[in-house]
Amino acid sequence: MSQITLQPSCADDYDPASLLVSEALQRIDAVVTPVTGYEQVPLRSALGRTLAQTITSPINVPAHTNSAMDGYAVRVEDLSGEGVTPLRVIGTALAGGPFQGVVTPGAAVRIMTGAVLPAGADCVVMQEQVGRQEDTVVIGSGHKVGQNIRRAGEDLAKGEVVMSAGHRLLPADLGLLASLGIAEIQVRRRLRVAFFSTGDELRSIGEPLDEGEIYDSNRYTLYGMLTRLGVDLIDMGVVRDRREDLEQAFREAAQHADALITSGGVSVGEADFIKDILKALGEVNFWKIAMKPGRPLAFGRVGKAVFFGLPGNPVSVMVTFYQFVQPALQHMMGQHEEPPLTVKAACAKRLRKRPGRMEFQRGILERQADGSLVVHSTGDQGSGILSAMSRANCFIILPEECGNVEAGALVDVQPFAALL
């Protein structure tokens, strides 16, 4: 009688040959360097680009001491008595239409928000706090020097450093630069990133599907993620799992791109094939990373291009892109950005997890009525389930050593909104 022995189920996912996520990140960061090459661009074209110069303020902002309110510009000294003081209104100061005279003792000037504070005045009293009869205003006590006044240079002083090289330019930055009268700035040149999908089963949208074939979705998620990063794209389409085709594609990318991203063909079964081709074209390491999804990852150089060989599964592509490729490309773009924000949230239900690998589960983060954050799992965590990624709004990041997570426990959550 034959007996079948079952292997005891593996209690953890620990694999001594694996690289930790943090180690892989360090290795990548140690190799990539910012591209050189700069451009002078008009302000609007600078959105999303990397600033390549230090900006110091050429002027004081605001340029003049001005009023923060609609009201009356007065001398606090005149209001020192008890009760109310009548002041004579001697003129009006408008934004863009300054009052040319001086606020003398016993006088007040009607002033609008943004108008230059007239000489002699040291305080603005809100119009709601005064009584007016013809050319007299009646004002109570308790007003202070500097009240409702914006000092010249209080936002930025002339000569002050406003932004440093390496800053990714966002809408507020365009506004700030405009407020300084700066029309053109120096930015780093755009990164050129080539990408293609590998796999004989892949068809491009628009083509009919035969049995066993699937549509290539990775090139679309990559297109989206790369576009948001603000790089120049070189979409090389689908490349068959054939030696000559792959070799040709790698050669072409290496000539034109700063970075090359592929998906598929790096898992154990397939890697040997690609390894062989890449050996001749550059230096590529095939890593097993202690993470889920995204265990296999190839990283190195093909020609002069930095190469990322991502796994084929659609969710793995997105996870490895966000965790490894995006920070590396930002480094190559010369950006000095903080890592994406994470927050703590309570798990709505128990999460299954085996110790050994860092997991990036797909979650839905919500704010409760009491203001606290709760995260729900999207359910099935299969690395091919792109619909879960589409429904999710965050990654639930569970560290290597962590096991099952009980309902109510706090976990680290990385909102997609923080990923660009």
What is the C-alpha separation between 332 and 173, in angstroms, rounded? 21
CA gap 360, 217 in Å, rounded: 20
In the complex, the smallest distance separating the C-beta of residue 214 from ligand AMP, rounded to whole angstroms, is 6
What gap in Å lies between CA 147 and CA 121, rounded to an integer?
11
Tell the residue number behind the tokens 């995204």, with chain if given: 294
Of the ranges 99-107, 150-158, 307-315, 359-367, which one interacts with ligand AMP (CB under 6 A)? 307-315
Beta bridge partners of 40: 186
- Residue 231 Cα distances to 212, 254, 281, angstroms: 34, 16, 24
Is 311 a binder of Mg ion (CB under 5 A)?
A: no
Side chain identity at 150, as an amino acid letter? R
- Within 253-282, which residues bind Mg ion (CB under 5 A)? 264-265
**Cα–Cα distance for residue pair 119/210, rounded to 1 Å:** 82
Residue number with CB closer to ligand AMP (201 or 235): 201
Q: How many CB atoms lie within 10 A of CB 134?
A: 6
Nearer to Mg ion, 265 or 356 (CB): 265
Contact between 199 and Mg ion per CB under 5 A = yes
Cα angle for residues 300, 227, 342 (degrees, 5° grid): 75
387 scored as a contact of ligand AMP (CB under 6 A): no
Which region among 110-118, 310-318, 349-357, 373-381 touches ligand AMP (by CB under 6 A)?
310-318
Half-sphere exposure of 123 (CA within 13 A, CB side): 17
Site string for ligand AMP, 348-377 (x = CB under 6 A): ------------------------------
> Nearest-CA neighbor of 122 among 69, 62, 63, 72?
72
Nearer to ligand AMP among residue 120 and residue 384 (C-beta): 384
Specify the residue for token string 């628009």: 206
Q: Which does 387 bind (CB under 5 to 8 A by kind): Mg ion, ligand AMP, none?
A: none
Q: How many other C-beta atoms can be found within 10 angstroms of the C-beta atom of residue 304? A: 11
Least distance in Å: CB of 184 to ligand AMP? 41
Q: How many residues belong to the site for ligand AMP (CB under 6 A)?
A: 17
β-strands 130-133, 71-74 pairing: unpaired
Q: How far is the CB of 336 from ligand AMP (least distance, A)?
A: 33
Q: Which of 92, 186, 217, 342 binds ligand AMP (CB under 6 A)?
A: 217
Q: Per-residue string for binding with ligand AMP, 250-289, x by CB under 6 A?
A: -------------xxx-x--x-------------------
71 binds, among Mg ion, ligand AMP, none (CB under 5 to 8 A by kind): none
Alpha-carbon span 46 to 298, nearest angstrom: 33
197 binds ligand AMP (CB under 6 A): yes
Residue pair 51/184 in contact by the 8 Å Cβ criterion = no
Q: Which stretch binds Mg ion (CB under 5 A): 120-128, 305-313, 360-368, 388-396?
A: 305-313
Mask for 41-60, x = binds Mg ion (CB under 5 A): --------------------
Q: How far is CA 282 from the centre of its chain?
A: 31
Q: Which residues bind ligand AMP (CB under 6 A)?
A: 197, 199, 201-202, 214, 216-218, 263-265, 267, 270, 311-314
Q: Which residues bind Mg ion (CB under 5 A)?
A: 199, 264-265, 312
